[in-house]
Structure formats: structure tokens, C-alpha cells
């Protein structure tokens, strides 16, 4: 008789977004005349830029003719895309990454969830708290995290690194030594970043203790400040300890198209074995390549026109971020983020819990955000608003919050 993977049963359930949906639909049913504004979503709302659409049309047409038809893509990605990524995202900023160290995929969620497969079963992971839930949950599914304590919201075999106002959202080096360290900067949910010097501390630490950093840079395109790294490979020594994961979702609106990539330098080794070779083996066995038309669309992102067009979209979202941040601060909220990221993380007023503040905002301002406690125990007492809405809705939502 078949048995299920019992590690899946340990997961506490997708409580956060289902609870939000239930609360919002109950409110809408009771108040059909109220216009709800959603500033909780992590999805983009602007359409795909014209240059990228043009490329999609062209490559769709190529599929209609035997001479230009494309079947299975190379497992690790087409050279036209890997070369332009290496050139634009790495060589141009002085980072020593070559095209054959780039693995093209269908997005950062799959990669950040699957990367744990190439590490030993008894590896110890360290995560920032609050955190993008995929890192912990995929390690739970793999049976690596011990038992869950509902009272503390923590797993017994995970090292948590709190990021709060008290430490200015800069995680401290753990006292217990991890094998795998997940870092995400600019951060979801807090919108905060590390300076180059602060990131260098982590790279030095990982090299010293023999850990690997899995660096999720999905929001890299939102960085505006000079002293914030766009890539971890700007830090010295990162080639021997860091894997970087990138996405086309937030910089170019590919949330529905699906494209991303992971960089694994050949210098990260355990004995004679490179992580690069294991991920190549994994990709070859479990992944049949991102679609040709989507990789061509990704290539168009790097064209001069594509770059200009996506920069406009990012500026649109970052203008929303500025409105949210300035509006909240003008009425006394303490906020972080919104400068190098499309997320604004606010401290709830009067020591309200994250969920109390969610209810308060929904009922009094008809605005939906995301309770910080849903991202980890240290998110309690915080709340996330996102800049991915329309300008008009963002302005209206903030005006309503200011009047509370």
C-alpha cells in the first residue's frame, strides 16, 4: 500500500494568504458598497513592455516554420540568453561569472525551492526571520527541519536570524554554525538591504565555516542606493561560497511568462565535487528547459529599448513606494524598505498584532496588506504593503490611511 511523504504533513498549511482571502471576502460580502484596495500582492500589474512583446511575436512566428521551429531547449538555457546575462548582469559590473555558470530556469521560486536537493540530508539551514516562506517549506518537505513548535512558530532544526528594528534589519552571524545560509536582498518582506560591507561579512563568514550562501536577488532591479550590491559576486570570495538566484518576474513583469536563472560558480566544491556539476545533473534529469519563446523574450529585456522600457516600469512602482512610505511617515508610522525594493514594512501602531492591524486597516480604510507574522515569528508587530498596485489606487489607499 502506498504511503505519503510524511514530511509534507508537518507543514502548518498555507495559512497566510488563505486567511487573508477569507477575511477579505467576508468583508466584501458584508459591505458590498465599499471599494477595497489591495496593497498586499507581490504580483506585478504593469503589462509586458513593447520591446519584449515584439520579441514574443517574432519567436512565436518562428515556431510556425520548419526552418525556424525550436523543439526542446538546451537543459541549461540557450547560449544567446546565457551570454547576454553574463555580459550585462555580471561582467559589466566587474563580477567574474561566465555564461556556462548560468542555469536558465522557469523562475526563482522553482530554483530557490529545489536547490536544497543537492545538499546532504542532514545539512543545517539558517534563514532570516521574517523570510520568504519557500526556503523553509521546501526544506520541511525534504525532511531537514525537525519538528514545528506552533507556540514559537519555529522548526527545531532551523537556525533563525531575526531581522527587526532592534538590529536595523541586519541579520547577525549565527552562534550555531549552519551549512546552508539563505539570504534575500533586497528583502521580501521587509524591503531592506545590506551594504556591500555588510554582505562581505557574510561571504567571509561562509568561507570561514565552509557554508554555502543561497542568495536570492529577485528584487535586484529595484536597488537605487550606491553602496548596495546588485550581485553577491561583487563581494570578494563569493565565487567559493555563493549561489545566486535571479528572476525576470519583478524587473520585467514575467510573473506569468516564467523565467529566471541560478548562478553556480565552478569554484564551490565539497572535496572534488562541484555544486555546479550536481545542479547540471539535476537540471538535466528533472528540467527540460525554459521555453524558446520565453528565453527570446528574456533576451529582449537586455536590449537597449527593453532596458529603457523596464526601467520606466520599475520607476512607476518605485514612485508608488515613495508615496506609501512618505504618506505613512507623515502620520507617524515607522517604516523601512521602499527605497531599494517595492515593499514597505511598517511597525504596527500601539503594539497591535499584525493580524489586529490587518483587520483595522480592512475595516477602517478598506485597504488590504499582509500581516508580518505570516513571514515568521519576528514579523509579529509588523505589516507589509507593496508598491505593485496602480498609482491611482496607491494614492487613494494612502489618503485613506492618513485619515484614520
CB of 109 to ligand PLP, least distance (A): 3
Q: Which is closer to ligand PLP, CB of 44 or CB of 401?
A: 44
Which residue in this structure is represented by grid cell 555544486? 275
- Residues near 392 by beta carbon (within 8 Å), at least 6 away in sequence: none
**What whole-number distance in Å separates Cα of residue 320 and Cα of residue 326?**
10
Q: Which is closer to ligand PLP, CB of 259 or CB of 365?
A: 259
Cell triple for residue 126? 539558517
- 342 neighbors 355 (Cβ within 8 angstroms): no
Q: Which is closer to ligand PLP, CB of 171 or CB of 327?
A: 171
Cell triple for residue 350? 500601539
Three-state DSSP state, 103? strand
176 φ/ψ angles, rounded to the nearest 5 degrees: -90, 140
CB of 208 to ligand PLP, least distance (A): 26
CB of 217 to ligand PLP, least distance (A): 9
Cite the DSSP H helix spans in 106-212. Answer: 108-114, 134-141, 196-209
Q: Which is closer to ligand PLP, CB of 107 or CB of 327?
A: 107
Q: Which is closer to ligand PLP, CB of 244 or CB of 365?
A: 244
Q: Which is closer to ligand PLP, CB of 59 or CB of 249?
A: 249
Cell triple for residue 21? 482571502
Residue 399 CA from chain centroid, whole number: 29
Three-state DSSP state, 62? helix
CB of 389 to ligand PLP, least distance (A): 15
**What whole-number distance in Å separates Cα of residue 118 and Cα of residue 116?**
6
129 φ/ψ angles, rounded to the nearest 5 degrees: -135, 115
Residue 18 belongs to what H/E stretch?
Answer: helix 15-30
- 293 neighbors 63 (Cβ within 8 angstroms): yes
CB of 264 to ligand PLP, least distance (A): 17
CB of 370 to ligand PLP, least distance (A): 11
CB of 189 to ligand PLP, least distance (A): 8
Cell triple for residue 295? 528565453
**What whole-number distance in Å separates Cα of residue 138 and Cα of residue 161?**
18
Q: Which is closer to ligand PLP, CB of 247 or CB of 309?
A: 247
Q: Which is closer to ligand PLP, CB of 253 or CB of 306?
A: 253
CB of 205 to ligand PLP, least distance (A): 21
**What whole-number distance in Å separates Cα of residue 243 and Cα of residue 245?**
7
Q: Give the binding site for ligand PLP (CB under 6 A).
A: 42, 107-109, 112, 132, 184, 188, 216, 218, 247, 249, 255, 260
The torsion defined by the Cα of 164, 165, 169 and 171, in degrees rounded to 10, comes to -60
**What whole-number distance in Å separates Cα of residue 365 and Cα of residue 312?**
30
Q: Which is closer to ligand PLP, CB of 101 or CB of 216?
A: 216
CB of 171 to ligand PLP, least distance (A): 15
Amino acid at each position: 500500500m502506498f504511503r505519503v511523504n510524511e514530511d509534507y504533513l508537518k507543514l502548518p498549511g498555507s495559512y497566510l494568504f488563505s486567511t487573508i482571502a477569507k477575511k477579505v471576502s467576508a468583508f466584501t460580502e458584508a459591505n458590498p458598497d465599499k471599494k477595497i484596495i489591495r496593497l498586499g500582492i507581490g504580483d506585478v500589474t504593469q503589462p509586458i513592455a513593447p520591446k519584449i512583446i515584439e520579441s514574443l511575436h517574432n519567436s512565436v512566428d518562428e515556431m510556425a516554420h520548419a526552418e525556424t521551429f525550436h523543439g526542446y531547449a538546451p537543459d541549461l538555457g540557450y547560449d544567446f540568453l546565457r551570454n547576454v546575462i553574463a555580459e550585462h548582469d555580471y561582467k559589466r559590473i566587474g563580477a567574474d561569472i561566465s555564461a556556462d555558470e548560468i542555469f536558465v530556469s522557469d523562475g526563482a521560486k522553482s530554483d530557490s525551492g529545489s536547490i536544497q536537493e543537492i545538499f546532504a540530508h542532514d545539512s543545517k539551514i539558517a534563514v532570516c526571520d521574517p523570510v520568504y516562506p519557500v526556503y523553509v517549506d521546501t526544506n520541511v518537505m525534504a525532511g531537514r527541519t525537525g519538528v514545528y513548535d506552533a507556540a514559537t512558530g519555529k522548526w527545531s532544526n532551523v537556525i533563525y536570524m531575526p531581522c527587526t528594528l532592534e538590529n536595523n534589519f541586519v541579520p547577525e552571524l549565527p552562534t550555531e554554525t549552519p551549512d546552508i545560509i539563505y539570504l534575500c536582498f533586497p528583502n521580501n518582506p521587509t524591503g531592506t538591504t545590506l551594504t556591500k560591507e555588510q554582505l562581505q561579512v557574510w561571504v567571509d563568514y561562509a568561507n570561514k565555516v565552509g557554508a554555502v550562501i543561497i542568495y536570492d536577488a529577485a528584487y535586484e532591479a529595484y536597488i537605487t542606493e550606491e553602496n548596495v550590491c546588485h550581485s553577491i559576486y561583487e563581494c570578494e570570495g563569493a565565487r567559493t561560497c555563493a549561489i545566486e538566484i535571479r528572476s525576470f518576474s519583478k524587473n520585467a513583469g514575467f510573473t506569468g511568462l516564467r523565467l529566471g536563472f541560478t548562478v553556480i560558480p565552478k569554484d564551490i566544491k565539497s572535496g572534488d565535487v562541484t555544486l555546479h556539476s550536481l545542479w547540471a545533473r539535476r537540471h538535466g534529469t528533472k528540467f527540460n528547459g525554459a521555453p524558446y519563446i520565453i528565453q527570446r523574450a528574456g533576451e529582449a529585456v537586455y536590449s537597449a529599448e527593453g532596458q529603457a522600457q523596464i526601467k520606466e516600469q520599475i520607476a512607476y512602482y518605485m514612485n508608488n513606494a515613495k508615496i506609501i512610505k512618505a504618506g505613512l511617515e507623515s502620520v507617524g508610522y515607522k517604516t523601512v524598505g521602499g527605497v531599494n525594493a517595492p515593499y514597505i514594512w511598517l511597525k504596527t501602531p500601539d503594539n497591535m498584532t499584525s493580524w489586529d492591524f490587518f483587520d483595522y486597516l480592512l475595516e477602517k480604510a478598506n485597504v488590504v496588506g499582509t500581516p508580518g507574522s505570516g513571514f515568521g515569528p519576528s514579523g509579529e508587530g509588523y505589516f507589509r504593503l507593496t508598491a505593485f498596485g496602480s498609482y491611482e489606487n496607491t494614492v487613494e489607499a494612502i489618503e485613506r490611511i492618513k485619515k484614520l
